[in-house]
Chains A and B, each alone.
Chain A
Amino acid sequence: MINRKTDILIIGAGPAGLAAAVAARESGVESVLVIEREKEPGGILRQCIHNGFGLHRFKEELTGPEYAQRDIDRASDLNIPVECSTTALSLSADRSVICVSAEKGLQHIEAGAVILAMGCRERPRGALCTPGTRCSGIYSAGTAQRFVNLEGFMPGKRVVILGSGDIGLIMARRMTLQGASVLACVEIMPYSSGLNRNIVQCLQDYNIPLYLNHTVTDISGRERLEGVTVSRVDQNRKPIPGTEIHFDCDTLLLSCGLIPENELSTGAGILLSPSTSGAVVDETFETNIPGIFSCGNVLHVHDLVDHVSAESQKAGASAAAFIRNKKHTTSFISVCDGDGVRGTVPQKIHRDADQEIQLMFRPTQVFRNSSAVIECDGQILSRKKAMIFTPGEMANIVLKPEMLNHVNGDSITVRMERN
């Protein structure tokens, strides 16, 4: 087994890992190493060949591979080693990682700081407890995307999509363009969890009906999928008998949510938030284990890669600061989810934080003409108004360091307020 040391080790070379690596190096840390389990860097962007990436960060519209390439090139310009086909097997609280590759065998890497950037996985059928047969033709949308865009194969011809997450919406269009018939997109909630622009450009432009308040209640087909039954649901998301619609289809794509891949993290004793399924972090993206940071979709699921990159740059810079022994001395203020808000990140803030902090969260439902507020002991510290807040789009509200002077207690709350 090879033993190695590095100042900063980054697990995952998707957009989060690459942005963190570049930021760490630009903050002056020489010894930065990225490991990646796939054969090439770029993460899930490699299979996202549609455009719409980079509008915020680069002020232009890029495809997924183009966006990834910019980070890959930047890392390469800076001579940051990115070791691919290398899978991390375990992470310890002492910031060491065991990883394996065919080329180097088993390695034990001791790091001064670790940045977790493993991304997320799709929620499979089992997690939904959808009854029916266990035939072929049921794929998570990302798996289908990989088949179509990376391998050049079609996973089906007549398609129903369960869930209206962004990957599902993108695949509705992609499968249509490739000659398949997409019969319906079925969403159990009264609103889509995808971006509005994807509803318009991927469903409406192709006349694909979106069934809100509906779900798949039966799956039929012995060998290959032959059809699905879709039913309307009540307010408690329970199917209403008598509302069944049957679709003859050979493919069911699932786009029912993403789950941060935190199996390595829990092995190191990192505390996870039940709300985000990601690590509990402070405003520097440090977890409860000193020197281990988390960013990107392994921390909380984002809608836009631009925001992943921005967050990961901060995490990279923080890891560099940790290496330089720049420590906070004061205690934490915890950040709580209030009415209409879930998954606020960061979950805690150093009392002596000296920079602007973006509190990121998701509304629990659609809010029109409303405000997000930061509140402390009945006092509003900050307010952000908008025409609409939807669960499909992550929202944020800025906390300025001077506001922290007004915090007497141990916590602040982010909540929604109708105007």
Chain B
Amino acid sequence: MDYKTDILIIGSGITGCALARELSGYQASVTVLEKGSDIAEGATKANSGIIHAGYDAMPGSLKAYYNVLGSSMYPSLCSQLNIPYRRCGALVIALDENEIKSVEALKKRGESNGVENLSLIGKDEILALEPNINPQVVCALNVPDSAIISPYEAAYAFADNAAVNNTTFLFDQTVENVIKNSNGFTVQTNSDTFHCHVVINCAGSFGAEIHNILCEEKLEMTHRRGQYYLLDRSSEQPFSRTVFQCPSHMGKGVLLTPTVHGNMLIGPTAEDISDPCDTATTAEGLSEIIRKAVRTWPALSVRQNITNFSGIRAHLNSGDFVVGQNKEVPGYFEAIGIESPGLSSAPAIARDLCRQVVDYMNLVRKEKTIVYQAPSCSFHDMSNEERASAVESDPAHGNIICRCEMVTEAEIRAAIHRPVGARTVDGVKRRTRAGMGRCQGGFCMPRVADIIAEETGIPLQKITKSGGSSFLLTGSIESYLKGESNHDQSEN
């Protein structure tokens, strides 16, 4: 089919969604194309979830600029849109005399990037703040302004707000070609053709590929995989802050951080891989994390591990972000190489890109925009009084579907009916936490699938874990009894 839209955003990761939200305040039609089956399916769903203060990036780089600016935008965005966010602080620890120099250098770099409240603290103070840190620690950079966020929930909130202000999100759309013409661009996907005035490339791991279709000056990208352990949430987490290791002779260290939902996240590795979709975990990667993490936390135990995952950082070989209108191709805007601190930077990148697009197209603000707030409080986090009134107002809150994370039927139905609603089991999981707990969906997954089928009309056999052919079921007992073979063709 042929579609017309003023502005086409390629990619619905954190950058694409933040940008869509910014642009939805203007009088223009905006369409977001996503190759996955849901928002935030790439790097946005699989990263450390940290809003960095900004001491790490090289002074003068776009990374430094957008990081410091973006992280300062999050507190008000998160409270306005109900995004889980906590300013938990961070420590960068030095475990021997050599590492002190690295920590001191980070402090200096942070100060020249404009990061405030940085200080160096000694062993006693470190152990008073975080008693589980390796007692061999000698000093640490204390970063009180470091924060944690639920990155995919931030993307959902941005997308929902764009959608209620008439942004169109289309899934399973893989961009195959982009052609510049006199009126703007023609964008060809695996299934449709889009005509637009402006194209904005927020395509994450595929950013360079799309750039290189349009531009003479080519970009080169390295796909860098990071694997993680996620430990079960419990009332007593071993660390209340993010704890970074400083770069050492052992390479770039791993971090240990609480998540906004009370889990512990440990990782990531950094492996250059050829396939930008290869999010498998490996035995070597997982054991490397443990080997490194025990330096921070000698008592580390993965008995509480509930899952392992990996994400792919989109690293440009030139080192820095590329953000803005492309010099060669007017009307083509881009945000490429948005690896760490990309999550921290996304709101600032989005605001800058939006401003540039508004200027280019002479866009006028809408008279009125709607603010959509994600469901503010989960049943799990409510007081008993709040729970009692929640069930009173909607009895579906009385049906606990996910027992590990205490997620109710009402919450799952609501997730499906959000402006950009869940269509898959993983979509429900990330919006509600159903299946995120210690049984990993063993009990609730069949019920979640039933509810998705009921609410969307998708037959149960067509429900997927995360789009594509990730079907949960392969056939019905009824059809088998009728004599329809359940065997693969290859066996016949």
A residues with CB within 8 A of B: 1, 37, 85, 87, 89, 98, 100-106, 108, 121-122, 124-127, 129, 131-136, 139-140, 142-143, 146-148, 151-158, 178-181, 217-220, 222-224, 239, 250-251, 261, 263
Contacts and interface: CB of A to CB of B under 8 A. Distances in A.
Contact of B398 (A102, A178, A239): A102
A135 B470 contact: yes
Nearest to A105: B391
Nearest to B385: A1
Contacts of A147: 446, 473
B403 A181 contact: no
Contacts of B476: 152-154
A40 to B, nearest CB: 14
B477 A126 contact: no
Interface string B189-228: 0000000000000000000000000000000000000000
A132 B384 CA distance: 41
Nearest to A140: B442
Interface string B163-187: 0000000000000000000000000
A125 B445 CA distance: 14
A129 B286 contact: yes
A385 to B, nearest CB: 36
A102 B396 contact: yes
A224 B487 contact: no
Interface stretch (B20-28, B300-308, B318-326): B300-308
A127 B471 contact: no
Nearest to A135: B470
Given A124-B442, A127-B305, A217-B283, A85 B470 contact: no
B440 A152 contact: no
B417 to A, nearest CB: 19
Contacts of B282: 131
Q: Report, nearest first, the 4 A-B pairs whose CB atoms are least far apart.
A: A102-B398, A179-B486, A136-B465, A124-B440
A179 B487 contact: yes
Contacts of B399: 85, 87, 101-102
Interface residues of B, number: 64
Contact of B395 (A103, A133, A153, A158): A103
Given A125-B440, A152-B476, A223-B469, A143 B446 contact: yes
A121 B473 contact: no
A388 to B, nearest CB: 31
Contact of B474 (A124, A133, A143, A157): A157
A193 to B, nearest CB: 18
Given A1-B388, A85-B399, A134-B279, A157 B475 contact: yes
B391 A155 contact: no
A181 to B, nearest CB: 7
Contacts of B487: 157, 179-181
Nearest to A132: B280
Interface in B477-492: 477-478, 480, 485-488, 491
B387 interface: yes
* Main secondary structure on A side of the interface with B: mixed
Given A136-B464, A139-B442, A151-B450, 10 more contacts: A87-B403, A98-B384, A103-B398, A105-B395, A121-B442, A129-B308, A133-B280, A147-B446, A154-B475, A156-B474
Nearest to A239: B283
Interface string B451-473: 00000000011001111111111
B239 interface: no
A343 B422 CA distance: 43
B400 interface: yes
A179 B469 contact: no
Contact of A101 (B398, B442, B461): B398
A250 B426 CA distance: 19
Contacts of A122: 439, 442
B460 A136 contact: no
A154 B477 contact: yes
A148 B281 CA distance: 30
A134 B306 CA distance: 13
Contacts, number: 168
Interface-central residue, B286, B409, B474, B475, by most chain A CB under 10 Å: B474
Nearest to A121: B439
Contact of B388 (A105, A134, A135, A156): A105
A360 B186 CA distance: 73
A122 to B, nearest CB: 5
B307 A125 contact: yes
Contacts of A85: 398-399
B266 to A, nearest CB: 12
B443 interface: yes
Contacts of A261: 403
A106 B306 CA distance: 30
B406 interface: yes
B440 A131 contact: no
A100 B387 contact: yes
Contacts of A102: 391, 395-399, 409
A131 B445 CA distance: 21
B96 interface: no
Contacts of A89: 384, 387, 400, 406
Contacts of B486: 154, 157, 178-180
Contacts of B391: 100, 102, 105-106
Nearest to B439: A121
A134 B467 CA distance: 13
B445 A143 contact: yes
A131 B283 contact: yes
A347 B42 CA distance: 49
B470 A155 contact: no
Contact of B473 (A106, A125, A126, A153): A153
B347 interface: no
Contacts of B307: 124-126
